[in-house]
A and B are shown apart, each in its own frame.
Chain A
Amino acid sequence: MTLAVKEEIRKGLRKPMPMSTNTAIATAARDLDVDVVSAYPITPQTTVVEKIAEYIADGQLDAEMIHVESEHSALSAAIGAAVTGARSFTATASQGLALMHEILHIASGGRVPVVMSVATRALSAPISIWNDHSDVMNARDSGWIIAFVSSAQEAYDTVIQAFRVAEDPDVLLPFMVVYDGYLMSHTMEPVITEDREKVLAYAPKRDYPHKLDPKNPLTIGTITDPNWYYEFKYQQVEAMKIALEKFREADREFGKVFGRNYGVLECVHCEDADAIVVANTSYATTLKYIIRDVREQGMKVGLLKMKLYRPFPVEEFLKATSSVDTVLVVDRAISYGAPVQGPLASEINALYHSRGLDTKVVSVVAGIGQRAFKDDDAKYMFKLALESRKAVPEETIFYGVRK
Chain B
Amino acid sequence: MPDVKELPKGQLYKSLFQLPRWEGLVSGHRLCAGCTAGVIVRHLTKVAGPNTIVVNATGCVEVSTTPYPYTSWNVPWIHVAFENAAAVASGVESAIKVLKKKGVISDDYKVIALGGDGGTFDIGFQALSGMLERGHRVMYVVYDNEAYMNTGIQRSGATPYGAWTTTTPAGKVWRGEWRPKKDIAAIVAAHRVPYVATANPAYTLDMINKFKKGLDALEEGPSFVHVIMPCTTGWRFDPNLGITIARLATETGIWVLYEIDHGNYRVTMPVKKRKPVKEYLKLQGRFRHLRDDEIAVIQRMVDEEVERINKIVGKEVIGPVAP
Contacts and interface: CB of A to CB of B under 8 A. Distances in A.
Main secondary structure of the interface of B (DSSP, over half): mixed
B68 A222 contact: yes
A98 to B, nearest CB: 15
A85 B71 CA distance: 22
Contacts of B73: 217, 219
Contacts of A83: 78, 91-92
A103 interface: yes
A222 B91 contact: no
A62 B104 contact: no
Of the listed residues B62, B76, B95, the one surrounded by the most CB atoms of chain A closer than 10 A to its CB is B95
A230 interface: no
B71 A77 contact: no
Given A69-B127, A215-B1, A36 B63 contact: no
Interface in B45-79: 50-53, 55, 62-63, 66-69, 71, 73-79
B99 interface: yes
13 contacts: A36-B94, A66-B91, A70-B127, A77-B94, A80-B78, A85-B105, A214-B50, A214-B75, A220-B76, A222-B66, A222-B68, A223-B63, A223-B68
Contacts of B96: 84
Interface stretch (B82-90, B235-243, B275-283, B292-300): B82-90
A38 interface: yes
Contact of A78 (B76, B77, B91): B91
A35 B99 CA distance: 7
A70 B126 CA distance: 8
Interface in A196-239: 212-225, 228
Contacts of A76: 80-81, 84, 87-88, 91, 127
A81 B92 contact: yes
Contacts of B76: 212-214, 216-220
Nearest to B127: A73
Given A36-B95, A62-B102, A218-B76, A80 B134 contact: no
Contacts of A214: 1, 50-53, 75-76, 107, 109
Contacts of A106: 80-81
A63 interface: yes
Interface of B: 1, 50-53, 55, 62-63, 66-69, 71, 73-81, 83-84, 86-92, 94-99, 101-102, 104-105, 107, 109, 126-127, 129-130, 133-134
Contact of B129 (A63, A66, A69, A102): A69
A188 interface: no
A77 B53 contact: no
Contact of B81 (A68, A82, A103): A103
Contact of B98 (A35, A70, A79, A221): A35
Contacts of A73: 84, 86-87, 90, 126-127, 130
Of the listed residues B55, B76, B81, B129, the one surrounded by the most CB atoms of chain A closer than 10 A to its CB is B76
Contacts of A221: 66, 78-80
Contacts of A77: 87-88, 90-91, 94
Given A212-B78, A214-B109, A80 B92 contact: yes
Contacts of A63: 98
Contacts of B126: 69-70, 73
B102 A222 contact: no
Contacts of B53: 84, 212, 214
A64 B94 contact: yes
A225 B130 CA distance: 33
Given A84-B96, A214-B52, A223 B66 contact: yes
A222 B62 CA distance: 8
Contacts of A222: 66-69, 71, 79
A25 B1 CA distance: 40
Nearest to A218: B76
The 3 closest A-B pairs by CB, nearest first: A80-B91, A77-B91, A69-B130
A72 interface: yes
A67 B79 CA distance: 22
B134 A66 contact: yes
Contacts of A79: 80, 88, 91
Contacts of B84: 72-73, 76, 103
B45 to A, nearest CB: 11
B67 A220 contact: no
A64 B92 CA distance: 11
A86 interface: yes
B30 to A, nearest CB: 9
A102 B98 contact: no
B53 to A, nearest CB: 5
